[in-house]
Amino acid sequence: MRVDLEVNGVRRSLDGVREGESLLHLLRERVGLPGSKNACEQGECGSCTVYLDETAVCACLVAAGQAQDSRVVTVEGLADGAELHPVQRAFVEAGAVQCGFCTPGLVVTVHDLLARTSDPGEAEIREALAGNLCRCTGYEKIFDAVRLAAGEAR
Amino acid sequence: MTVAPARPVAVRDGVGDSARRPDAVAKVRGEFAFSSDLGHDRMVWGATVRSPHAHARVLGVDASAALALPGVHLVLTAGDVPGVNRYGLERRDQPVLAEDLVRYIGEAVAVVAADDPELARRAAALVRVDYAELPALTDPELALSGGGPVLHEDGNLVRHLRIRRGAMPAAADIVVVTGEYEVGMQDQAFLGPESCLAVPDADDGVDLYCSTQWLHVDQDQLADCLGLPAEKVRLTLSGVGGAFGGREDLSVQAHACLLALRLGRPVKMSYGREESFVGHVHRHPARMRYEHGATRDGRLLYVKADILLDGGAYASTSAAVTGNAGCFAAGPYEVPAVEIDCRSVYTNNPPAGAMRGFGAVQVCFGHESQMDRLAAALGMDPVELRLRNAVDTGSVMATGQRVEGPAPVAELLRRVAGKPLPPPPGTDPRLLPGGMSNSTRAEGLLRGVGYGLSVKNICKSAGYDDFGTARVRVLARGGDVLAEVHTAAAEVGQGLVTVQAQIARTELGVERVTILPADTAVGDAGTSSASRQTWISGGAVRAACAAVRARLLERAAEVLGEGAEALRLESGQAVSELSGRAVPLVELLVTEIEETAVFRHRDTQPLDPETGQGDAHVAYAFAAHRAVVDVDPELGSVRVVEIACAQDVGKAINPAAVEGQMHGGIAQGLGLALMEEVKVRDGRILNPSFTDYLIPTTMDMPPTVLDILELPRADSPYGLTGVGEPPLLSAPAAVAAAIRDAVGAALDRIPVTPEAVAAAAVGR
Ligand code: FES
Ligand code: FES
């Protein structure tokens, strides 16, 4: 089948998409944007988090066909050219990145959290990030990054 | 040539600074290429056909239905392996593709190549393998007693380490405690799936881009399996999404190379999460019987331990894990007499091998549970009992080895014990036991505090020739000095690329440093495990820099007309300490300078086969944990309120990265304590997904309190010691102890389940 959508501001028409193919697969293998990660492909880890029409979703759980005519923003679409988004900068500065496999999904999730709440509290941060697994950092420096980015946004 | 007075400026982001990761920007942008992100023109995808049986004869493989699918190119079986169809880290006992026998559920039998990953998986499902099932041996006790089928030529015992030291005291006035403990099978659960890209080359060789912990050991095994000389199997490290021991063994590498070489096309392989659970080894499940004897005033007199590790179907690193579990079974304590038997066996369970902590984690739960039991029997404070017996510099370990270098075990424990306790539970249900399920309002919660002390070896042990290689090149580039560092050391997330660059900056006084991709074009770096890479590959980088520096100073001495002894490198110049004159390095680099160095730690000895005595370890590292928990006794749910960890790192080359290692290690320890277990029944993994195998989330992790000591060693670069493993070691023991403290009952198995907690709470 054919799927038309906008990804990071660029219109795309993709042919030969399989029934049952995920948006994640479409982004990674057809659009050529492997930034969204595939740690579980079962909706459990959040490494594939992208915006689908302004809502942060697990791209592995969205059928590619469901994204027809939608606007998708991936981690690759957050920076302004060479200029990192403040959330991305905060991850770098806080040392919130180790292997980095969880990072793209977390960057999008935190971007989404701070778009909704400029000054999230401790429990609120934890809850908002509960769907994103990280195996390396124990999350502490990721929380630091959230607070850093929130502070910068205010 | 300019000869100017020196301007003393310390180099930025050198040793001791929390330098940022060079790869962090690419990682936050989503532009960092993990092995699962690689692609190539004309690339096809590989998939694996795996055994559904724990133990069976393979009678035949029929690939016709798979090959009939349009877009399926090739199906390979054991007969297609051109070289030796065996691999393995300690013994080559595992077939690349099963021949006439499969020994575990998930063992690879055939590989398929097809146009896309979905098709490859479908084709793999269509490959028909005829099996004749055999009785499966899934109980390690039975394997040890010889009561089941014999799974390998040399029998089912992989290794038996006996440690005997001192004479067992006569029975008068000794307080004795015994216990039996169990540790479940933990998964490394790295997030990046096993994956690689194999590209056949015009010279009949293959270029492999993969995630691994040790490029050269992969290369050795692959060359033999593929029947190629090593130089025709060239490996380059691609982005590694975590490792934790689970990437020491081969997974996709040999299969992708086989397909690529046969097809003459690039082949990509990438496991899904479910396949990953059978695609790599796990932490050895352990059963441990302990007996401790002590004087009434709490001095340990003896320790007896009998430990059995389930090694699963193939050896992997079982022998070394057995060695470690045995060596550290008595913990970081002075014990005059020890009798330790540590064994590992083959079974038809999924293979076990390396995971962060490598045998020391399991026995830590055993010896620390015993220390608490002993403290209770003596009516003594558990911290006091530990302090009384903690090893120090000069103490003798169970293996008879004297502890050299800093051993601030008592100090580490005092530090965690002295931290203020967290406030009582609040009212936000999200931060109470049960978390978001909102199952308590904090009424009737029980709080507990528990401690753990741990020890583990750093670097390779027991006579292993452990070394690292580094090549460093300095050149003038755009009016500036650039240093390039090239090693084969695997960056797996721990931050090795950062510390390599920091070391080069400090040694050369140069700010611009590039870390070249790790590959087999440079000498062996050894493995990214055993908490060894900063020490070993860091040591190699430092040595190569020293050689480069010597040549730079020779050139500078000539220009300045002064002796090289009085010169040093600083801020891109060579500076004379005598005259204060300086010459910019760019001017000395009309031709570039390149040096390669190999770094080794001091020799170690194998343990005596009868007594288990010997100087087998280069260094010991220690950690102390304190865990505070709230328990809901009715539901058995546990909220870890806080974990404090104190660790001696010798020298923090990058303090932020040290903290990151500690946070991550604590999280994996909490996971093992409370939730992480690969459940295996009749050889089958019952929970191969992140839906059913739970790792700690942001809701599970408590705030941590870190205390980093820097007591320099005399025998390592900058005085450092390994950092990666200690913060995990005693975290599970401390969490379990805290739950026991809360409910006032014994808990002898980790992970501690809510059922076990509730039952213990009722029985108290
Ligand atoms: S890959 Fe989508 S949630 Fe894990
Ligand atoms: S940094 Fe490795 S999974 Fe988060």
Q: Map B229-247 to HEC letters.
A: CHHHEEEEECECCCCCCCC
Mean pLDDT, residues B474-503 taken together? 96
Q: Grade residue B172 by pLDDT with cuts at 50, 70 and 90.
A: confident
Residue A80 resides in a domain:
no
- Compute the distance from residue B323 Cα to the ligand 2 centre, in Å: 30
Q: Given a cut of 70, is residue B256 above it in pLDDT? A: yes
Q: What CA–CA distance (Å, rounded) separates B377 from B333?
A: 18
Inter-chain CB pairs, A–B, below 8 Å: 187
Domain range enclosing B661 = 397-457+618-764
User: pLDDT by residue (tens digit) across B524-572?
Assistant: 999 999 999 999 999 999 999 999 999 999 999 999 999 999 999 988 8
Residue B27 resides in a domain:
yes
Q: What CA–CA distance (Å, rounded) separates A39 from B539?
A: 34
Residue B91 resides in a domain:
yes
User: pLDDT by residue (tens digit) across A125-136?
Assistant: 999 999 999 999
B119 and B46: one domain? yes
Q: Given a cut of 60, is residue B24 above it in pLDDT? A: yes
* Helix residue ranges, H only, chain A: 23-25, 86-94, 103-116, 122-128, 140-153
A26 and A46: one domain? yes
Name B161's bridge partners.
Answer: B342
How confident is the model at residue B2, as a pLDDT? 53
Of B279, B303, B321, the residue at which a domain comes to its end is B279
Q: What CA–CA distance (Å, rounded) separates B165 from B132?
A: 48
**Position in ligand 1 atom list of the atom nearest CA A40:** 4
A133 and A104: one domain? yes
- Alpha carbon of residue B50 to chain centroid: 26
Residue B552 resides in a domain:
yes
Q: Total domain count for chain B?
A: 3
**A96 min Cα distance to partner chain B (Å):** 8
- A140: which chain B residues are within 8 Å (Cβ-Cβ)? 659, 663, 701, 703-704
Measuring CA to CA, which residue among B390, B411, B394, B412 is closest to residue B403? B394
DSSP string, B678-736: --EETTEES--STTTS----TTTPPPEEEEEE----SSSGGG----SSHHHHTHHHHHH
User: pLDDT by residue (tens digit) across A80-97?
Assistant: 999 999 999 999 999 999
User: pLDDT by residue (tens digit) across B30-39?
Assistant: 999 999 999 9
- A28: which chain B residues are within 8 Å (Cβ-Cβ)? 37
Q: Report CB contact under 8 Å: A133, B492.
A: no
Among the partner residues A44, A100, A101, nearest to B690 by beta-carbon distance: A44
User: pLDDT by residue (tens digit) across B303-329?
Assistant: 999 999 999 999 999 999 999 999 999
How confident is the model at residue B694, as a pLDDT? 97
- B667: which chain A residues are within 8 Å (Cβ-Cβ)? 135, 137-139
Q: Total domain count for chain A?
A: 2
Mutation test of ligand 2: which of A137, A139, A144 has the most ligand atoms closer than 8 Å to its C-beta? A137
Q: Looking only at Cα atoms, what is the longest distance across chain B?
A: 85
Ligand 2 near A137 CB (within 6 A): yes
Q: Given a cut of 70, is residue B763 above it in pLDDT? A: no
Residue A21 resides in a domain:
yes
**A109 min Cα distance to partner chain B (Å):** 12
B438 and B489: one domain? no
User: pLDDT by residue (tens digit) across A40-70?
Assistant: 999 999 999 999 999 999 999 999 999 999 9
User: pLDDT by residue (tens digit) across B60-94?
Assistant: 999 999 999 999 999 999 999 999 999 999 999 99
Q: Given a cut of 80, is residue B764 above it in pLDDT? A: no
Among the partner residues A45, A92, A133, nearest to B25 by beta-carbon distance: A92
Q: What CA–CA distance (Å, rounded) separates B510 from B482?
A: 7
Q: Given a cut of 90, is residue A15 above it in pLDDT? A: yes
B95 and B51: one domain? yes
A107 and A133: one domain? yes
Ligand 1 near A133 CB (within 6 A): no
Ligand 1 near A41 CB (within 6 A): yes
Q: Report CB contact under 8 Å: A103, B430.
A: no
Residue B161 resides in a domain:
no
B498 and B560: one domain? yes
User: pLDDT by residue (tens digit) across B621-659?
Assistant: 999 999 999 999 999 999 999 999 999 999 999 999 999
Q: Grade residue B762 by pLDDT with cuts at 50, 70 and 90.
A: confident
A63 and A114: one domain? no
B537 and B626: one domain? no
Domain CATH for B93: 3.90.1170.50
Residue B268 resides in a domain:
yes
How confident is the model at residue B58, as a pLDDT? 98
Q: What CA–CA distance (Å, rounded) separates B542 from B536?
A: 10
Mutate to test the interface with A, among B18, B23, B29, B654 (most CBs of A within 10 A): B29
How confident is the model at residue B8, as a pLDDT? 43
How confident is the model at residue B428, as a pLDDT? 86
- In this structure, which ligand is nearest to the CA of A142? 2
Q: Given a cut of 80, is residue B436 above it in pLDDT? A: no
How confident is the model at residue B6, as a pLDDT? 47
Of A45, A74, A103, the residue at which a domain comes to its end is A74
How confident is the model at residue B122, as a pLDDT? 97
B562 and B660: one domain? no
Mean pLDDT, residues B117-132 taken together? 97
Domain range enclosing A144 = 86-153
How confident is the model at residue B498, as a pLDDT? 98
- Alpha carbon of residue A147 to chain centroid: 18
B427 and B499: one domain? no
B518 and B622: one domain? no
Of A47, A74, A101, the residue at which a domain comes to its end is A74
The residue of chain A with its CA nearest to that of B119 is A18
B587 and B651: one domain? no
Q: What is the mean pLDDT of chain B?
A: 96
Q: Report CB contact under 8 Å: A93, B20.
A: yes
Q: Grade residue B3 by pLDDT with cuts at 50, 70 and 90.
A: low
How confident is the model at residue B478, as a pLDDT? 87
Residue A79 resides in a domain:
no
How confident is the model at residue B740, as a pLDDT? 97
Residue B378 resides in a domain:
no
B28 and B39: one domain? no
Residue A129 resides in a domain:
yes
- A101: which chain B residues are within 8 Å (Cβ-Cβ)? 34, 190-192, 241-242, 493
Among the partner residues A44, A100, A138, nearest to B663 by beta-carbon distance: A138
- In this structure, which ligand is nearest to the CA of A138? 2
Q: Report CB contact under 8 Å: A99, B689.
A: no
Domain CATH for B427: 3.30.365.10
B639 and B696: one domain? yes
B636 and B544: one domain? no
Determine what percent of chain B is predicted with pLDDT higher than 90. 94
Domain CATH for A115: 1.10.150.120
Residue B286 resides in a domain:
no
- Compute the distance from residue B685 Cα to the ligand 1 centre, in Å: 21
b/e sequence B297-313, b meaning 16+ C-beta within 10 Å:
ebebbbbbbbbbbbbbb
Of A44, A74, A104, the residue at which a domain comes to its end is A74
Q: Grade residue B7 by pLDDT with cuts at 50, 70 and 90.
A: very low
Residue B363 resides in a domain:
no
